[in-house]
Structure 1
Amino acid sequence: MGTSLPLVLLAPRVTDDSVRIWKAAIDEGWSVQRLPGWRVTEDLRHEKHDLSPKDDRE
């Protein structure tokens, strides 16, 4: 099983905070997708993602 990059899903509304999150995620090499609407798209709905929080201190 391959290792996938963390994925950050951003809300469709662009705010200063969401731009900061986007830039920080890109700097870390993470994948970023901004949702086109307030519902998760079909392609993302059928992908398997680990949604558990990660703690870097472990």
Structure 2
Amino acid sequence: MSNPNISIGSACHILKFNQIRNEEKSIAYLIWKSISAQKSYNRFLIRSISLIRKQFRKLT
């Protein structure tokens, strides 16, 4: 620490703030991952439905 006047309490407060920021980032990352997983799952469903429709057209 460059500033010798920073007390241990404020140093702990800064560390806690950084930890909260990291938790926010990880939560945002998890949300982003779940959204991207949902999008790829939706693409998979759309592909599956179109394949099923093609197969069904062949039957009829």
When normalised by structure 1's length, the TM-score is: 0.26
Larger Rg: 2
Greater relative CO, 1 or 2 (CA 8 Å, sep 6+)? 1
When normalised by structure 2's length, the TM-score is: 0.25
Which structure shows the higher helix fraction? Answer: 2
